[in-house]
Amino acid sequence: MSTINYKQLAREISLVENKMPQAKAILENLPTTVSDTPVIGFTGPPGAGKSSLLNALLENLLLQNKKVAVLAIDPSSPFNFGALLGDRIRFNSLFNHPDLYLRSIATRGSLGGLSENIIEICDVVRSYPFDYIFIETVGVGQSEIEIAGLADLCVLVLVPEAGDDVQMIKAGIMEIGDIFVINKADRPDADKMYHRLRKILAPATLICQTIATQKKGIDHLFNLIEQKLHSLQNNHPRKIALLAQKAWQLIQQERMQDIRLKDLQNNLQTAISQKDFNLYLFVKNWF
């Protein structure tokens, strides 16, 4: 496999993430052929052990001489809107590995557990010769569904205490998992949780138990990921649906790029003083 120019990749991501003038040229000059590099999302509620689990999986892949990129979506600093870099602590043992590219990306207030420009950033990374790309989301509960429109498959990480059947069915993120992982399986009720998932999910759903801190169940998880990726290779309708979702989000961003919340607030300040103020007529003026 060819060598990856990490400095160039980092520079291109920064230009795209910050919407610099050069970003458009970078994106429009990406290779026309769609990369086959799989994008794997790791999501789940806070405290489920996503970072620890991903760290254990990365160790296995790097031992196989695989080149891996990780986009760790981080909460934003309330002062400078940059990433807080919390995930760097958990990936500390692998931080300087030559076959691993780790990038922390700030949400900058974006909902859904991802970053506003994550689609573009991910496509930039896919233009480089990685074997796998992992995206770890913030972990914000039921709103964390955007990953389903970006990743080829989603690994949903849960813990034995995730809740009863009704709570789990209500949770929006339960609908986006391709592989369900019960992490911290050394805790009580892990087996009960496994059977509960088997009961409420489709029979063909892939489920495994892991103990990330002890490196247990990691090989099984990787085998399930490979199994799922293989089943998706010839799934043309899913690929089209995924591209359509990406196109939809990119078009929304383009249409909204000249609208600023502060401008809306300033205009509303004047508009609401009028007796005939109507929010829907006000919004219509922005179309």
| The pLDDT of residue 142 | 43
Same domain, 207 and 271: no
Q: Do 277 and 180 fall within a single domain?
A: no
**Angstrom distances, CA of residue 148 to CA of 47, 92, 151, 283:** 20, 28, 6, 30
Q: Do both 97 and 235 map to the same domain?
A: yes
Partners of residue 110 on adjacent β-strands: none
Mean pLDDT, contiguous 10-residue spans, the chain (287 residues)? 87 92 92 78 87 93 95 61 49 81 74 67 93 84 61 90 61 77 94 89 91 96 95 76 80 80 86 86 83
Reported as half-sphere exposure (CB side, CA atoms, 13 A), residue 52 has a value of 17
**For residue 84, what pLDDT is reported?**
46
Within-domain flag for 1: no
Token pair of 209 as six digits: 């138990």
Locate tokens 């590219």: which residue?
101
Tell me the C-alpha distance between 147 and 91, whole Å.
21
Q: How many CA atoms lie within 13 A of 170 on its CB side?
A: 6
162 and 145 in a single domain? The answer is yes
* Predicted local confidence at residue 83, as pLDDT: 42
Position 71 in a domain: yes
Whether residue 287 is found in the same domain as residue 235? no
pLDDT value of residue 173: 64
Instruction: Kindly state whether residues 43 and 112 are assigned to the same domain.
Output: yes
What's the rounded Cα separation, in Å, for the pair 73 and 92? 16
Q: Is 78 helix (H, G, I), strand (E, B) or coil?
A: coil
Same-domain status, 40 and 104: yes
Pairing assessment for the beta strands 206-209 and 100-106 based on DSSP bridges = unpaired
Q: Are residues 213 and 154 in the same domain?
A: yes
Question: Tokens 């291109």 label which residue?
Answer: 12
Look at the chain and report how many structural domains it folds into. Answer: 2
In this structure, are 168 and 54 located in the same domain? yes
Q: Which strand (E) or helix (H) includes residue 105?
A: strand 100-106
Kindly state whether residues 151 and 66 are assigned to the same domain: yes
For residue 264, what pLDDT is reported? 87
Which SS3 state, helix, strand or coil, does residue 203 take? coil
Range of the domain at 279: 261-287
Q: How far apart are CA 78 and CA 81, in angstroms?
A: 6
